[in-house]
Amino acid sequence: MDNKNSSVPVYIEALKAKILKINFKDESLEMSFVPSSDYCHSNGTIIQGGFITTMLDCSMAFLVMQMTDFQKTPMSIDINVNFMSAGKPGLTIARSKIIKLGNSIGFLSAELFQDNNLIATASSSIKLAAFPGIDFIKDNIGSDAEIIYK
C-alpha cells in the first residue's frame, strides 16, 4: 500500500492479526493471531516469548487507538509479561482492557489464550502521543469486528 497511514505493518500480516471485538462500554478489545511455527523455538513447537509479548502489546495498543478515535498512539513506558504456559502454533486470542486512561499516561492489561487456556498476561504503562490518522486498523484488521457501544 502506498498511503503511509493505511499500510498494515508486516508483523500484523505475518501473525494474521484480526480484531474480533471492540467494547467501548467496558473499554476492552479482543483480537486473534495465528502464529506459525516460524515464530516458535523447540523445533517449531513453542511460541517464542518475544512474539507472545508482541501479541499482548499489540492488543493493548490497538485498544488505546480505538478508544482515542485514532488521535493518539501509545508509547510503552513499560510492559510486564507473565508466561503461564507454553503457546503453540495456531489460533491465539488476546483480550486487553484499559485500567485507566488519562490525558497523557495510561495503564493497560491483557491476557493471551490458546484453546481457552491462559498462556500469558501483561500489564503496561503508556505515554499517549498525538498521532492522528492511523486508520489501517478500521479498514483492514478491524473491518469485521463486533463493536459494542455504551
Strand ordering across the sheet containing 92-101: 72-83, 117-130, 105-114, 92-101, 28-33, 18-23, 146-148
* DSSP label at residue 55: H
pLDDT tens profile 51-68? 999 999 999 999 999 999
In 3D space, the residue among 38, 30, 49, 31 whose CA is nearest the CA of residue 87 turns out to be 49
* pTM, 2 dp: 0.89
pLDDT tens profile 74-123? 999 999 999 999 999 999 999 999 999 999 999 999 999 999 999 999 99
Class of the 10-134 domain? Answer: alpha beta
